[in-house]
Amino acid sequence: MKPIVEYQDYRQYMSDYYEERKRCSIFSWREFSRLAGFTSPNYMQLVCEGKSGLSKKGVEGVADAMGLVGTDRDYFRAMERFADAKSDEKKRQAFLEMQKIAKETHLRVVDSEAFQYFESWVNPVVRELAPIMPGAKPLELAHNCYPEVTAAAVRQSLDFMLRTDFLKKVGEDAYVQTDKLVTGSSEAIPLALRSMNRQMSQLAAEAVDNVPPEKRHVTGVTLGMSESTYMWLVQKLEDLRQQVVAMAAKEKDYEKVYRLNLQLFPLTKGKEA
């Protein structure tokens, strides 16, 4: 089996453990459930299939059944909290704990770089801004952000992006973007993106009051629509987003960094409520 810190889904880890035990010896869901302290003979199978969950006591029982101790046990606990958390903040805290444990064991959590990148709006802004301000110190970059941030925040962002190869240093305080794509596929990435979207939506709201109208474009429309029209509009917005990304990829001499938010959300519950 892979090291536990290469997993993010505790159910997948349990399933792989079961398959490994079954491949090497006579092992059944009944035995797995019994070792974990459950009376139901197929309870572990239901958990692995996502049809049931684990209580705190259940987590400890399963960890005992799989012989997890030390940091492996701590990581398993954090994985369960990450998967079953009811709020984004609790899910975030669990994932950060997973990252911490993985770092201490000199291994990496899948998609952790993309997660950290999307955690703060400062990272994508600095990634676009630093290349067009060669020679600028972190304080100067910070003053050029809108709203302004601290020099320490910019320095931290630069250090992170150099370390993870999102930016490359080509001279004294001079940077270029690498071809590395900021993407991810795990459950952690939508969590970080929700955080990013909340931050960017707040910045958009502040721009209405703080940015002159001639330097921003904020419009909206309230309308009723059917589900089919909604899906049509979603596709149109996605097409537009891709066109903007393609256009921006061709930009060589840009002067400012902008954020384009595409937002479509309900203002009523609908007939099905």
The overall pTM is greater than 0.75: no
CA 81 vs CA 6, 26, 35, 40, 89: distances in Å: 16, 31, 22, 23, 11
Query: Per residue in 204-215, pLDDT tens?
Result: 999 999 899 999
Q: What are the structure tokens assigned to 147, written together?
A: 């709203």
Mark whether 90 and 158 lie in a shared domain: no
> Does 58 fall in a domain?
yes
CA 34 vs CA 7, 22, 52, 169: distances in Å: 24, 15, 16, 56
> Is the model's pLDDT at 99 over the cut of 90?
no
What integer pLDDT is reported at residue 244 of this predicted model? 84
What integer pLDDT is reported at residue 272 of this predicted model? 61
Domain that holds residue 187: 111-219
Are 52 and 46 in contact by the 8 Å Cβ rule? The answer is: yes
Query: Per residue in 149-162, pLDDT tens?
Result: 999 999 999 999 99
Mark whether 126 and 188 lie in a shared domain: yes
Percent of the chain exceeding pLDDT 90 equals 53
> Does 31 fall in a domain?
yes
> Does 70 fall in a domain?
yes
Mark whether 60 and 145 lie in a shared domain: no
What integer pLDDT is reported at residue 116 of this predicted model? 82
Report which of residues 119 and 42 the model is more confident about.
Answer: 42
> Does 41 fall in a domain?
yes
Banded pLDDT at 185 (limits 50, 70, 90): low
Query: Per residue in 243-257, pLDDT tens?
Result: 887 788 777 788 899
Report d(CA 255, CA 262) in Å as an integer. Answer: 22
> Does 227 fall in a domain?
no
What integer pLDDT is reported at residue 184 of this predicted model? 57
What integer pLDDT is reported at residue 182 of this predicted model? 65
> Does 230 fall in a domain?
no
Please name every residue paired with 169 in a beta bridge, in sequence order, or none if there are none: 175
User: Which among 220, 140, 136, 222 is positioned nearest to 173, based on CA atoms?
Assistant: 136
Percent of the chain exceeding pLDDT 70 equals 93
Read off the CATH number of the domain in which 190 is found.
1.10.10
Query: Per residue in 106-149, pLDDT tens?
Result: 565 656 777 788 888 999 999 999 999 999 999 999 999 988 89
Mark whether 104 and 115 lie in a shared domain: no
**Boundary residue ending a domain (73, 91, 108):** 108
* DSSP codes of every residue in 218-246: ---------HHHHHHHHHHHHHHHHHHHH
Mark whether 62 and 90 lie in a shared domain: yes
In the chain, the number of structural domains is 2
Polymer length in residues for the chain? 273
